[in-house]
Amino acid sequence: MHGLINRAIQCFVTDTYGTETWHAVAVEAELDFVEFEAMLLYDDALTPRVLDAAAHLLHRPRAEVMEDLGTYLVSHPSVEALRRLLRFGGVTFVEFLHSLDDLPDRARLAVSDLNLPRIELREHTSSCYSLFCYSSVQGYGHVMMGVLRAMADDYGALALLEHSGGDAGTEVISISLIETEFAEGRIFELGARAG
C-alpha cells in the first residue's frame, strides 16, 4: 500500500487522538517503526493491521474509525491540500459525484504509483445515486462515506448516505440528495495557495 495512504492514517490518529495513541497503534500493529514515509511503498498487509489496531485501542468498531478517517481527510486543516484537489472535481456537489469515477486516474496523474481503489457512480434519478467501491481493504466504503459526508458539507449540499453493505471486495453506498444548495458551503478559489 502506498505510503501516502498509510501516512494519512497515521496523521488521522495523531491529529485526532495524540502522538501517544499513534505510538501505541504502531506497537500493537507490530510496525517496528512509528513514522510512515509518504513517498515510499509498504507491504499491503500493514494497512489492515494498523486499522485493526486503531479500532481495538480506541474501543470503537473499525467501520466507525474508517468513516472518521474519511471525514478527517476532507475537513482537517492539516490536509487542506487534499480537500482542494477533490474540489477540482466539480463546481457543484453533483458534478463532484460524477467526477468520482475519475478519482483513481486523477490520483495517478499526481503520483504515478498511487493506486486508489476503483469506484463507480450509478445514477438512478437526479437525486438518487449508488457508489460502488471495489477494494481489497475491507471498509473502504466507510472511508468514502466519511469523504462524501464532509464534501457535501463543503459544497453546502444536504445528502443522506447509507452504507448498504456488499460482497467481499465490493461495498455500496446509497446517496440521496435532499438539497444541493442547503447551506453556504466553503469557498473554493482556483488560485488560492494550499497550505
Partner 1 sequence: MTAVEFCGLDILCPMHLVLSDTGHVRHAGPTVKKLRPDLDLTGARFLELFDVKRPRAVTKMADLSALAGTKLHLQLRDPPQTELKGVIVPGPMPGHFTVNLSFGISIVDGVRDYALTSADFAPTDLTVEMLYLVEAKSAAMEASRKLNLRLQGAKIAAEEQAFTDTLTGLKNRRAMDHIMARYEKWGTQFGLMQIDLDWFKAVNDNMGHAAGDHVLQTVAHIMVEETRDNDTVVRIGGDEFVVLLPSAQEMGDLAAIGHRIIERLTQPIPFAGKECRISASIGVALFDPEGADTTAQVLDNADVALYASKNAGRAQLTFYEPELRENVTEPASRSA
Residues that bind partner 1 (CB under 8 A): 4, 37-40, 81, 84-85, 88, 90-91, 106, 109-111, 188-194
Nearer to partner 1, 34 or 39 (CB): 39
> Residue 5 and residue 19: Cα distance in Å, rounded?
18
In the complex, the smallest distance separating the C-beta of residue 78 from partner 1, rounded to whole angstroms, is 13
Bridge partners (DSSP) of residue 118 are 134
Q: 128 φ, ψ to 5°?
A: -135, 120
C-beta of 37 vs 179, nearer to partner 1:
37
Quote the least distance from Cβ 66 to partner 1, whole Å: 23
Q: CA 189 to CA 154: how far, in whole Å?
A: 13
Q: How far is the CB of 136 from partner 1 (least distance, A)?
A: 24
Q: Which of 124, 123, 119, 88 is nearest to 102 (CA)?
A: 119
Closer CB to partner 1, 38 or 158, in the complex: 38
